[in-house]
Amino acid sequence: MTKKLSSSPKSLRTKAIHGEAQSKSWEFSHHLIPPMTASTTFRLESLQRGAEGFSTFAADQKSEKPIWIYDRLEEPTTKMLEDQLALLERGECAVTFGSGMGAIASTLLSLLKANQKVVAHKTLYGCTYSLITNWMPRFNIQNSLIDINDFTKLEQELKDPTTRVVYFESVSNPILEIADLEKIAALVKKANLKRAKDNQIYTVVDNTFATPWALRPIEWGIDFVIQSLTKNISGFGTEMGGAVIAPKEHEGNLRVARKDFGAIIHPYSAWHILVYGISTQAIRFEQQQDSAMKIATYLEKHPKVERVIYPGLKSHHQFKQAKKYLQSPEGKFAPGTMISFQLKGPMKKCQKFVDDIAQNSYSITLAVSLGLTKTLIEVPGFMTHSAIPSDKRGESGIDPRAIRLSIGLENANDIIQDLETALSRV
């Protein structure tokens, strides 16, 4: 028997565990846990069926029964993950990729062509910055990096007929700025009223820091939402993946881009993210967030700390905006799991502190990535954001002394104790 659809709506917390009650991607009548595929190619029952599979791939009209051909096109486990992600972000469809950067690159290249421009926030993840400023100009795709919350400047950019995409992070990496999604979407919508249908401007938002548990940009009028599944959604540091949640009309182009670029996610990774990551994301996120608040409060009071940036602190310069946007599906304030802070004094003190953590801390690990069960520390200006030229880091707002802390599931007091020990030696 297939599980019956409930007559009453369920919370996203429950949907994250059960997903769709019915799935065309696989026969569910005997499976409590979604099964995993391990085949790169699929048996076809007839030549006609095979031809139909190729002719309908990435088309609006598909066969009632899915036709699986080759896993670089589509395959069942990945499709179940995509259905679940679209559900959580409250979007029309989702397309998964082998990494977050695969999702970002494929989305931008599916929307942009030569002699068009992407307007992006000045503070971006280092690899995204490199993609936009280094690789895309080689295809004559231009860029303008601005403060996305400077609405006068944004309106000027939207008047430029070459502007095609507005790209930013909902919560910026690493300095935790909050984008005013509602205002940005409204300005883009206004600009689009004067544009032809085939020259509309699209908003693309990287929502990795917030995750769908803290923010769902589509609810605020955003067109495309990017997730690095490697981070909090997967959560255990074992799988890599990315996704874009998009309007249904763009699904075909995104799937063709993934096929042609080869930016596919392996079914093994898709299965682990679906079964272990998504089902536990809410409880992991809330525990990490609770610890983050305690740790941020501790750091803010420490005499050797110059500045702490955390959306849950009233000292955050956008605290009111954080309260507006960072809300769980259950209506609770969700300031997240990421902290940025700076020590008083020169860069050498920052280096000594982080090296001490790397060599002596038990509960904090010097490593890149974020949103994992283990607490991670890094210095973005010298690590994840090093692709940004040193003469441009000031413009991006990234202080070289900024330390990024991704809170895991350890006891908050243990993390604080390790911070205190390292700080005492600076």
Any idea where the domains of the chain sit in the sequence? 12-276, 282-424
**Under-50 pLDDT residues of the chain:** 1-7
pLDDT in the model for residue 67: 85
pLDDT per residue as tens digits for the range 286-328: 999 999 999 999 999 999 999 999 999 999 999 999 999 999 9
Q: Which ranges constitute the DSSP H helices of 278-360? A: 279-301, 319-325, 347-360
Residues 6+ apart with CB under 8 A from 213: 12, 281, 282, 285, 286, 328, 329, 334
Find out whether 385 and 403 touch, Cβ atoms under 8 Å. no
Strand order in the sheet with 375-378: 305-309, 338-343, 403-406, 375-378, 364-366
- Residue 402 in tokens: 């900024």
340 near 378, Cβ under 8 Å? no
Q: What is the pTM of this model?
A: 0.91
The tokens of 211 are what?
Answer: 């995750």
Note whether 419 and 299 are within 8 A (CB): yes
> Which residues lie across from 227 on neighbouring strands?
243
pLDDT digits (tens, 9 = 90+) for 345-359: 999 999 999 999 999
Distance CA 390, CA 408 (A): 30
Give the pLDDT of residue 50.
85
Nearest Cα residue to 209 out of 299, 310, 293, 81: 310
Cis omega before residue 380 (within 30°)?
Answer: no
Give phi and psi for 227, each to the nearest 5: -130, 130
Q: What is the pLDDT of residue 158?
A: 98
For the four alpha carbons of 294, 178, 125 and 334, in that order, the dihedral sign comes to positive
- Residue 307's pLDDT is 96
pLDDT at 382: 74
Which residue has 């369920």 as its token pair?
Answer: 10
- Residue 166, φ and ψ in degrees, nearest 5: -110, 120
pLDDT score at 3: 47
Q: What 3-state DSSP class applies to 375?
A: strand
The per-residue pLDDT for range 178-195, each reduced to its tens digit, is: 999 999 999 999 999 999
Beta partners for 63?
A: none
DSSP 8-class letter at 266: P
Which helix (H) or strand (E) segment holds residue 308: the answer is strand 305-309
How far is 260 from 295, CA to CA, in rounded Å?
A: 45
Provide the phi-psi class of 342: left if phi over 0, else alpha when psi is between -120 and 50, else beta.
Answer: beta
Q: List the structure tokens of 363.
A: 């509960």
Q: What are phi and psi of 404, to 5 degrees?
A: -105, 130
Same fold, 12-276 and 282-424: no
375 vs 358: CA distance, rounded Å:
12
At residue 53, the pLDDT reads: 84
Q: State residue 137's pLDDT score.
A: 97
- Report yes or no: 101 and 194 within 8 Å, Cβ to Cβ: no
**CATH number belonging to domain 282-424:** 3.90.1150.10
Is residue 52 within 8 A of residue 38, CB to CB? The reply is: no
Give φ, ψ of 35 to 5 degrees.
-75, 165
Residue 219: the pLDDT is 97
CATH topology for 12-276?
A: Aspartate Aminotransferase; domain 2 (3.40.640)
Cβ neighbours for 171, distance < 8 A, ≥ 6 positions apart: 177, 178, 179, 209, 210, 215, 311, 326, 336, 338
Complete DSSP assignment for 90-103 = T-SEEEEESSHHHH
